[in-house]
Amino acid sequence: MGVTLAAGETLQLVNINPDTIIFTLINTLIIFLLYFFFLHKPVMKILDERKEKIANEMKAAEDAQAEAEATKAEYAAKLKESKEEAAQIVSAAVKRAGERENQILAEAQQEAAALKKKAEESIELEKKKAINEIKDQISDIVIMASEKVCEKEISKADNEALIDRFIAEVGKE
């Protein structure tokens, strides 16, 4: 089959040439190998490596995040614990202070009571002492007055009996 030209030649357009087929098959194989080894394989290798690297990095990031969350939870727990501890310490201190306060108050009251008692005792003593002194003075005065009034000596025994009666009477009043 061909295109007939004016000069009587034919253009061999659709002629199958077995040699060309063989050479083309060989050339196609070579181009396939060139493409495969020079371009396809290195690119696929780098793409796989990149995929793997990204997967590893993502996994590492996820691990790091999980670790961070765990640490955060741990710290939160610790913080809570220390807060509780602090609250406990404060409450214990408050309690102890309260106890101490009560104790101090009690001691003070006790001391005050003791002082008061002592003071009262001392006052009583002084009172008695004063009364005795007054008794003595009064008896002396009475004796002197009696001596002056009576100008007459009476027996000391009579005198003292008289005085005691007088004092008793005075004491009753």
Interacting residue ranges for other proteins, rule: CB under 8 A: 3, 5-7, 9, 11, 13-21, 23-25, 27-28, 30-32, 34-36, 38-47, 49-50, 53
Per-residue tokens: 6: 């004016």
* 42 vs 98 by CB, closer to other proteins: 42
Minimal distance in Å, beta carbon 88 to other proteins? 56
- CB hemisphere CA count around 107 (13 angstroms): 6
Minimal distance in Å, beta carbon 62 to other proteins? 21
Minimal distance in Å, beta carbon 64 to other proteins? 21
Minimal distance in Å, beta carbon 12 to other proteins? 8
* 22 vs 73 by CB, closer to other proteins: 22
13 near 3, Cβ under 8 Å? yes
What is the rounded end-to-end Cα distance, in angstroms, of the chain?
176
* 37 vs 75 by CB, closer to other proteins: 37
Minimal distance in Å, beta carbon 32 to other proteins? 4
CA angle 44, 46, 49 (to 5 degrees): 105
* 53 vs 95 by CB, closer to other proteins: 53
* 43 vs 119 by CB, closer to other proteins: 43
Q: What is the DSSP string of 22-85?
A: HHHHHHHHHHHHHIIIIIIHHHHHHHHHHHHHHHHHHHHHHHHHHHHHHHHHHHHHHHHHHHHH
